[in-house]
Amino acid sequence: MMPQQPILEIRRACPADEAAIARLLQLTSRPSTMAWRWQQHLDDETFLVTLCRGRLVGALLAWPDAGPVAWVRLGTLDGGFRLGPWLDQCLPLLIPPLRRLGARMLAWMDVAAWAGPALQQRGFRPLTRLVTMVKKDRRLPAIGAVNAVLRPATAADLPALLRLDHAAFSPPWWLGGATLERAWREALCFLVAEREGRLLGYSEAQLTPSGAHIGRLAVSPLAQGQGVGRALLASLLTSLWRQRIVHVTLNTQESNLTSQRLYAAFGFVAVPRRVVAWQRAI
C-alpha cells in the first residue's frame, strides 16, 4: 500500500517566501524545469507554493511570455512527496489565471526526467525533445563571404528583432518583448546581421557558472540559406573567446537536423542527456 500523502497547503507565493524557495531549489533532487527570474513573480496568481506543516516543500510558477503558450518557468517539489497528487492540487488553481492571461496551452520542460510520467497521466503530451550541445575548443570552420554587416545590437533594434524572432520560430518558442530586452541588457554578446538597413538575424549568449550559453540564433526565413547563421555563430564565438569563455553550450530540438549539422560543423558535441518538453491544452 502506498503511504498516504501528507496534507499539503497550496497558496499564492509572496515576497516572504523568496529565501525558502531559493533553499528548496538548492537542496531538492527534483530540479527546476526552466531558468527564469522567478523572484519578479512573487505574489502573482500563477506562482504557487506548497507547505507541509509550515515548511515550504514545493513551488510552481507558470507564465505566458508571448503567444498562447504558458511555460512552467519554475517547478520543483521536495523528494519526499509524490508528484501526481501535488499536480492534482496545483493545476486547478493555476489554470484559471493563466487563461485570463491569454494562455491556451501549458508547457513543461522536464529537465531531469522526474515529471514526465505524472504529466502524461494528466493529459500532457510530448511537444519535442531537446538536445544540449557543448563546445570546448576554439576551432571554427570556413565561413565564406556573407552579404551582411554584423554589429552589436542596440535598443533601437529590439522591436524589429521581436518581429524577426516570431517569424523565425513557432509560438511555443516565441520570446516576449520584456524577455528579449532583458536578454539584450544582460548578454555577454548580442549581435545582429543587417543588410541595407534590414535585420536578417541575431545571436546572443549569456554567462553561466561554467562558461556561456547561446540562448538564441535566429535568422529571418527570407534570409535563411545565405550563410547568415554561420556568420553570426562564428562572430559570437569569437567574441566569447575574447572574454576568456572556454565552455559554450546551446540547446536545439532533436528533430532539427539542420541546426544540429550546423553546430556539429562548429565543433559542438551533443551530450547524452535529452530533455522532453510536454504540453497540454488548458
CA–CA distance, 142 with 147 (Å, rounded to integer): 16
Q: What is the mean pLDDT of the chain?
A: 94
Question: pLDDT at position 3, please?
Answer: 58
Look-up of cell digits 529565501? 19
Q: Is the pLDDT of residue 2 over 70?
A: no
d(CA 223, CA 265) in angstroms, rounded, equals 20
CA distance readout (Å), 130 to 111, 118, 272: 10, 19, 11
- pLDDT one-digit tens code per residue, 11-28: 999 999 999 999 999 998
- Note whether 78 and 58 are within 8 A (CB): yes
The predicted pLDDT at position 45 comes to 97
pTM of the model: 0.88
Report, as an integer, the average pLDDT of 54-69: 94
Q: What is the pLDDT of residues 159-191, one digit of tens each?
A: 999 999 999 999 899 999 999 999 999 999 999
Task: Decide if pLDDT at 5 tops 70.
Answer: no
Q: What are phi and psi of 14, to 5 degrees?
A: -140, 165
